[in-house]
């Protein structure tokens, strides 16, 4: 006698398959809305940040900057993002995740447009600093919002998809530059950066605060350091922060300079590709980034946070110097998406790890502190690559970043596994 199996019985018989293929149908409206808000905010954040890297060659000519100064300006943005993460984390724990998210998006949008009015290096530096404040705040608020709204079995996938939107934002930036720059110049490229501010109105109308945050009620604000320094929290938090710092040192040093590495003349340490080729190569790179970000979340929910982190970082450490010494356009095109896949995908795991190791009362502030201390320390990377490039070229300078990826991989092995941990 034949037996018809319902989808529920198949799901219960094979829970792993259900988690992998059926999870989108199992999501709530609140989960979907927070993912859209966090993902779009992070994508548009990436767009505004990447506009600088994509026009850096034109800014160097406009303001007579060398690679050291150009790298310093990007490092300044990263330092500001560390400060912004701390500030907006504190705000998010007090007035809510969605309000902090809206404020951060508005800030980085206005600052990006202001860069188009720069007439000196100090002016440009000031606007990039303010942009960095909003940039750091967006990740902190969005990651806490999604982590507290999504259930443990899908949290890694949701945060991975949020992180993957960064690659989409970078691709949008490349298209903006390709369309706007030849006709209107670099200033107009930055003016486009104000458009993300429109997202704030949609978030205000459609995105709810997490029930966890609303139900927590008033907490003892003076207890932040007591909870942060508590047994089992400080050591793991410090370890995660160090791992994140080395990973982001490799990331920011590499992907800040790849556009210039591709487009600058060989005499200046680049590969001399045309604007069309640079844009094409960068879009292929963004596809590799997106796939790496998105896939990591699925691996993290299936195998845990720690093992995929180690594997991604280890492979990134091996590929980075090979890419830096590649000379032909063929090898740059072939290796680019693999470097992007492994050199960025690991980021998707950090929001899950950080949200699962810190107590709920201080979650956003502690996540912002941990993530952005790492980002602040990694701010030295663009400057370091720019300084080394003066003597050795941009490509050979990437070997420094491979070492950072390798150290981060080793630190990942020391972290505890937090897969499946319920948030309070």
Helix pair angle (348-357, 306-325), 10° resolution: 150
pLDDT in tens, the chain (424 residues): 343 333 333 344 444 444 555 666 777 888 888 888 888 888 888 888 888 888 888 888 888 888 788 878 888 888 888 888 888 888 888 888 888 989 998 898 899 899 999 888 999 999 999 998 988 888 888 888 888 888 877 888 888 888 888 888 888 898 898 899 988 988 999 998 888 888 888 888 888 888 777 776 544 444 666 666 666 777 888 888 899 899 989 998 888 888 888 887 777 777 878 878 888 888 888 889 889 988 888 888 888 888 899 999 999 999 999 998 988 888 888 999 999 999 988 887 887 787 787 776 677 777 777 887 887 787 788 888 888 888 888 888 899 999 999 999 999 999 888 777 767 6
What domains are defined for the chain? 28-412 (1.20.1250.20)
Side-chain half-sphere exposure of 11, counting CA atoms within 13 A: 11
Quickly tell me which residue has 């690659």 as its tokens.
Answer: 167
* Closest among 230, 239, 256, 255 to 374, alpha carbons compared: 239
pTM: 0.72
Output the CA torsion 104→39→294→253 (10° steps): -30
Which letter, b or e, does each residue of 62-81 get, where b requires 16 or more Cβ atoms within 10 Å of its Cβ? bbebebbbbbbbbbbbbbbb
CB 302 within 8 A of CB 155: no
Give the number of residues written for the chain.
424
Whole-angstrom CA distances from 421 to 148, 215, 357 are: 12, 19, 9
């Amino acid at each position: 006698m034949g037996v018809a199996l319902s989808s529920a019985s198949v799901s219960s018989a094979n829970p792993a398959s259900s988690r992998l293929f059926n999870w989108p149908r199992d999501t709530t409206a609140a989960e979907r809305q927070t993912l859209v808000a966090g993902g779009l905010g992070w994508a548009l954040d990436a767009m505004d940040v990447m506009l600088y890297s994509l026009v850096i060659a034109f800014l160097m000519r406009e303001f007579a900057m060398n690679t050291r100064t150009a790298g310093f300006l990007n490092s300044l943005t990263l330092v500001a993002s560390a400060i912004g993460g701390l500030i907006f984390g504190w705000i998010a724990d007090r007035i809510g995740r969605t309000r902090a998210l809206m404020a951060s998006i508005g800030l980085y949008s206005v600052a990006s447009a202001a860069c188009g009015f720069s007439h000196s290096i100090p002016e440009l530096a000031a606007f990039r600093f303010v942009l960095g404040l909003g940039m750091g705040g967006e990740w902190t608020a969005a990651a806490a919002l999604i982590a507290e709204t999504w259930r443990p079995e899908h949290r890694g996938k949701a945060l991975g998809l949020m992180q993957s939107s960064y690659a989409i934002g970078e691709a949008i930036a490349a298209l903006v530059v390709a369309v706007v720059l030849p006709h209107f110049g670099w200033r107009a490229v930055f003016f486009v950066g104000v458009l993300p501010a429109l997202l704030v109105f949609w978030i205000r109308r459609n995105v709810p605060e997490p029930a966890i945050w609303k139900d927590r009620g008033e907490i003892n604000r003076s207890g932040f350091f007591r909870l942060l320094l508590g047994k089992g929290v400080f050591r793991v938090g410090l370890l995660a922060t160090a791992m994140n710092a080395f990973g982001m040192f490799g990331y920011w040093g590499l992907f800040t300079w790849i556009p210039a590495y591709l487009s600058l003349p060989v005499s200046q340490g680049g590969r001399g590709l045309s604007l069309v080729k640079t844009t094409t190569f960068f879009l292929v790179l963004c596809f590799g980034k997106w796939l790496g970000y998105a896939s990591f979340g699925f691996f993290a929910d299936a195998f845990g946070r720690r093992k995929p982190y180690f594997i991604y970082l280890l492979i990134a450490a091996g590929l980075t110097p090979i890419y830096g010494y590649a000379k032909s356009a063929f090898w740059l095109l072939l290796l680019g998406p693999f470097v992007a896949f492994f050199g960025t995908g690991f980021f998707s795991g950090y929001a899950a790890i950080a949200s699962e190791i810190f107590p709920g009362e201080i979650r956003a502030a502690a996540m912002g502190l941990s993530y952005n201390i790492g980002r602040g320390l990694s701010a030295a990377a663009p400057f370091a690559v720019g300084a080394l490039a003066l003597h050795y070229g941009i490509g050979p300078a990437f070997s420094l970043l491979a070492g950072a990826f390798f150290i981060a991989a080793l630190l990942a092995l020391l972290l505890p596994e937090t897969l499946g941990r319920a948030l309070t």
